[in-house]
A and B are shown apart, each in its own frame.
Chain A
Amino acid sequence: ELKVEQNPLFLSMQEGKNYTIYCNYSTTSDRLYWYRQDPGKSLESLFVLLSNGAVKQEGRLMASLDTKARLSTLHITAAVHDLSATYFCAVDMWDSGGGADGLTFGKGTHLIIQP
């Protein structure tokens, strides 16, 4: 069974600080997604990482993928209040042999950025 673990699950930080969210997964996969969810809203796609060593950046967010370590990171640089949300990583289930083309999500990291 494919497992996806995120940590931390809850993070409170001050504006201007840097921090990293970690996502570990249990099976070989070369495809990992990061999503953002605001309270009461749906999921917004942030990044898709498609190969070992992939790095993508958008504004103050940067995501990377190490398929050998089965680890992805989401790094936040100089955090601002608007980045407060819950962040999910997800792995494509296809590679776990199930044949189902769905995503297995981590439990999410609830991020609060205080002024």
Chain B
Amino acid sequence: GAGVSQSPSNKVTEKGKDVELRCDPISGHTALYWYRQSLGQGLEFLIYFQGNSAPDKSGLPSDRFSAERTGGSVSTLTIQRTQQEDSAVYLCASSSRGRATQYFGPGTRLTVL
């Protein structure tokens, strides 16, 4: 079946602009995760959703980052007032339930000029 999809695949923005990144999990997967991958920091966990709720938001790098999930499916990661250090690949993953194998999407490469 279809895997995790993310859009856009690439996003170039100017410093100070807001961006929205979208993730469509595998159908039926209740758990959804956001990660960030950069050369300097490696792979970092940002936030996870069980259903529509996010029990722990402490992984988000700053209050400019927010995420939501509606209808237990699609999730949006929003970065406000982007900074150059936000440049990275943002990866979304989903799993059938909590603590099961996570399947990753292709990622969104964000470049902040």
Contact = CB atoms under 8 A, between A and B. Distances in A.
Interface of A: 31, 33, 35, 41-45, 48, 88, 90, 92-94, 98-108
A42 B101 contact: no
B91 A101 contact: no
Interface of B: 31, 33, 35, 42-43, 45-48, 50, 55-56, 58-59, 91, 93, 98-99, 101-107
Given A42-B106, A108-B42, A102 B101 contact: no
Contact of A102 (B33, B106, B107): B33
B58 A100 contact: yes
A94 B97 CA distance: 13
B99 A103 contact: no
A99 B101 contact: no
Given A42-B106, A92-B99, A100 B55 contact: yes
A94 to B, nearest CB: 6
A103 B45 contact: yes
Contacts of A48: 101
Contacts of A43: 91, 93, 104
B33 A99 contact: no
Contacts of B56: 98-100
B48 A102 contact: yes
B12 to A, nearest CB: 17
A107 B48 contact: no
Residue of B45, B55, B58 contacting most chain A CB atoms (<10 Å)? B45
A101 B50 contact: yes
Given A93-B45, A100-B58, A104-B45, 10 more contacts: A35-B104, A43-B93, A43-B104, A48-B101, A92-B99, A100-B55, A100-B56, A101-B48, A105-B42, A107-B42
B95 to A, nearest CB: 9
Residue of A31, A43, A99 contacting most chain B CB atoms (<10 Å)? A43
Nearest to B6: A42
Contacts of A45: 101-104
